[in-house]
Amino acid sequence: MHKKIKFWTLHILWRHIICGFFALFAIFPVFFMATAALDKYGQLSTSRIFPSSLSFDNFTRLFEYEDGAFFIWMRNAISISIAIALLNLFVGTSAAYAISRYKFYGRRNLLMIVVLLGMFPTLLSLTTLYLTLSSIGDAIPAIGIGTRLGLILLFTGGALSVGTWFLKNYIDSIPTELDDAAKMDGAHHFYIFARIVVPLCAPVLAIQTLFGFLGGLNEYLITSIILGTERNVTTVAVGMQSFLAQNAQNWGAFAAGASIITFPVIGLFIYLQKHIAAGLTAGAVNS
Q: Is the pLDDT of residue 44 over 80?
A: no
Task: Give the CATH superfamily of 66-281.
Answer: MetI-like (1.10.3720.10)
Which pLDDT belongs to residue 117? 73
pLDDT in tens, 116-160: 777 777 777 788 888 888 888 888 888 888 888 888 888 887 777
pLDDT in tens, 1-39: 566 666 666 667 778 888 888 988 888 888 888 888 887
Q: Is the pLDDT of residue 233 over 60?
A: yes
Domain spans in the chain, listed from the N-terminal domain onward? 2-57, 66-281
Concatenating the DSSP letter of every residue in the chain gives -HHHHHHHIIIIIHHHHHHHHHHHHHHHHHHHHHHHHHBSS--GGG--SS-SSB-SHHHHHHHHTTTTHHHHHHHHHHHHHHHHHHHHHHHHHHHHHHHHH---TTHHHHHHHHHHHHTS-GGGGHHHHHHHHHHHHHH-TTSSTT-HHHHHHHHHHHHHHHHHHHHHHHHHTS-HHHHHHHHHTT--HHHHIIIIIHHHTHHHHHHHHHHHHHHHHH--HHHHHHHTT-TTT--HHHHHHHHHHHSTT-HHHHHHHHHHHHHHHHHHHHHHHHHHHHHHHTTSS--
Q: Is the pLDDT of residue 283 over 50?
A: no
Which pLDDT belongs to residue 72? 92
Which pLDDT belongs to residue 74? 92
